[in-house]
Structure 1
C-alpha cells in the first residue's frame, strides 16, 4: 500500500489489514559522475514497494534528505543536521501512531555513520516514549551487502560502486551515465578534515565497472526478501 497514492478511505481500509508501516529514508547526495543524487532514496523506496507486493505493508513517502558528512564538499550533496533528522523521524512516527500504526520499519538508503546513529537514537527515544510500538532501524546497504555476498565481487564496496550502480542500472537505467571508475577514499586515520573532496575526489567507494542490471535485479530481490522477513519478525516480536 503506497501511501502517497492512497485516499483517506484506502488508508482506513488498509488499517484493517496491517498496522505496519515502512518508512524509507534517503539523501540528496553525490554518487560519482554516473549515478543520480537520489540514488539512496530510489533504492530504499523501491525495496519497500516490492515488499508491499508480497505482504500487507504501508509504504510511506520517502524522506529525501539525510545527514551527509563525508560527501559534504561534493557538488550536489544537500545535507541536514542530525538534530533535524531525529526530529523528522520522531514527528513522523508520532503522527502515524496517532492514526493507529504500531509497527515501524525505518530503512535508510543512506548509510553514513552519523545519519544511522541519529535514526537509531530517535528510535530508542520513541520506544521509550510510545510503549505500544515496535521499531526496527536498518540500512539498505547492510541488507544488500549481507544478502548479496555471492554476487558482489568488490571487497569493501560501499558507495556508488558495484552494488549501488547495479541497483540503479536495474530500476532506473535512464538515470545512469556510464559505469564510473573504481575508487577508494584515502582519508587520514583519525584526523577530521575540512576539504573532504581532496581525499575522495570522484565520490566512488568501490568498483562500479563490475556492476550489471542483472546483479541489480537479484540484489533488489534479496533485499526485498530481507525486508519481508523483518516485517514478519517485528510483528511477532514480544518483550
Structure 2
C-alpha cells in the first residue's frame, strides 16, 4: 500500500512538474527541453519589438515590452516556448532621435533569417512571430513570403490580425481621442502600458510635446514616400497620451491575448502548412532538374 501511495505521489509530482516548466527559452534547463518540445508541439513564439522614443512619457522599449508581455500571457494560456527579447526590427525612420537602435536593413533581414534557421536547427517546426512595432509589418510580410526562396524544415507564421468590427465599436466607445491621429505612443499604446507596466509610464509628461500631425509634406495622391513619418511626426509621437487609461488598456490587451491564443492553438494543430511547403520545394527542385 505504501509503495502504491509513493508511486502515485511520484507520478503526480512529475505531472505537476510537467505543467510548470518555464515557457521562456532562457529559463528552461537542458533536462526540460524534450518535455518543452513535446508540450509545445515543436512550436516557438518569437516576440519582436524595437528600441525607440515613445513620446516624452513612455519607455524606449514600449514595443518590446508589449511583445514580451503578450507572448508570456499567451504561453501561459496555451503552452509554447518563448524566445528571449528580440529587438532588431525596421526603424530607419527614427534614426534622428537618441535611444533608437537601428541596424542596417540588410543585416536586420539576415539576422531574422539566421534566427529562424537556428530555431529550426534546435527542433522547432513552427515559428509564430508576434510583433509589437508598427513599422515592422511590411518587413515581416516580405520576410515570410521569402521563406519560399529556399527549402527549410520549419514554417514561419506571422500573427497579423484583421480588424474585428464588433470589437472596434466597443473600443471606440471607450476611447477619448480620434483613432485616425492615434498612431504612436498615443492614447491606445499608452493605455496598454498603463495596464501592463504602469510603473514605467510618466503620464504627467505626456503633454510636454505635441503629438499632432505637423503636415509638412505636400500631399501627392496615390504616392508613398519614406519621409512621410518624419514630415508628419518629427518628435516620434502621434496622439494624445495624456488621455490614456488602464481601463482601455485592459480591454485592448485581453482581446489581443484571446486572439493570439486562438492563433497559437491553430498553429500547433496545423499539419497542412509544412506538408504543402515541402510539396512546393519538391516541385521547385523537380523543375530545376528538368532544365
TM-score between the two structures when normalised by the length of structure 2:
0.72
Matched residue of 1:218: which SS? helix
Query: Unaligned stretches of 5+ in structure 2?
Result: 1-22, 277-291
Choose 1 or 2 for highest CA Rg.
2
Query: Unaligned stretches of 5+ in structure 1?
Result: none
Matched residue of 1:70: which SS? helix
1:173 equivalenced with 2:198 (yes/no): yes
State whether residues 135 and 234 of structure 1, in contact with CA within 8 Å, keep that contact through their aligned partners in structure 2: no
Question: Quick one: distance in 1 between partners of 2:162 and 2:59?
Answer: 21
Aligned position for 2:64: 41
Question: Quick one: distance in 2 between partners of 1:146 and 1:95?
Answer: 38
Higher share in helix: 2
Matched residue of 1:9: which SS? coil
Matched residue of 1:160: which SS? coil
Change (3 A) 1:233 1:124: same
Change (3 A) 1:68 1:187: farther
Aligned position for 1:109: 132
State whether residues 17 and 56 of structure 1, in contact with CA within 8 Å, keep that contact through their aligned partners in structure 2: yes
Question: Quick one: distance in 1 between partners of 2:36 and 2:145?
Answer: 27
Between the two proteins, the alignment pairs up a number of residues equal to: 234
How far the C-alpha of 1:70 sits from its partner, in A, is 2.6
How far the C-alpha of 1:43 sits from its partner, in A, is 0.2
1:60 equivalenced with 2:88 (yes/no): no
State whether residues 203 and 242 of structure 2, in contact with CA within 8 Å, keep that contact through their aligned partners in structure 1: no
Aligned position for 1:16: 38
> Map of 1:110-189 to 2, 5 A cutoff?
110-112=133-135, 115-138=136-159, 149=168, 150-152=170-172, 153=175, 154-156=178-180, 157-178=182-203, 180-181=206-207, 183-185=211-213, 186-188=215-217, 189=219
Bigger Cα displacement from structure 2, 103-112 vs 209-218: 209-218
Change (3 A) 1:46 1:71: same
How far the C-alpha of 1:194 sits from its partner, in A, is 10
Change (3 A) 1:62 1:144: farther
Change (3 A) 1:65 1:135: closer
State whether residues 143 and 226 of structure 1, in contact with CA within 8 Å, keep that contact through their aligned partners in structure 2: no
TM-score between the two structures when normalised by the length of structure 1:
0.86
Change (3 A) 1:218 1:136: same
State whether residues 27 and 64 of structure 1, in contact with CA within 8 Å, keep that contact through their aligned partners in structure 2: yes
Matched residue of 1:24: which SS? strand
Question: Quick one: distance in 1 between partners of 2:147 and 2:97?
Answer: 33
How far the C-alpha of 1:163 sits from its partner, in A, is 1.4
Tell me the C-alpha RMSD between the 2 structures: 2.6
State whether residues 86 and 121 of structure 1, in contact with CA within 8 Å, keep that contact through their aligned partners in structure 2: no
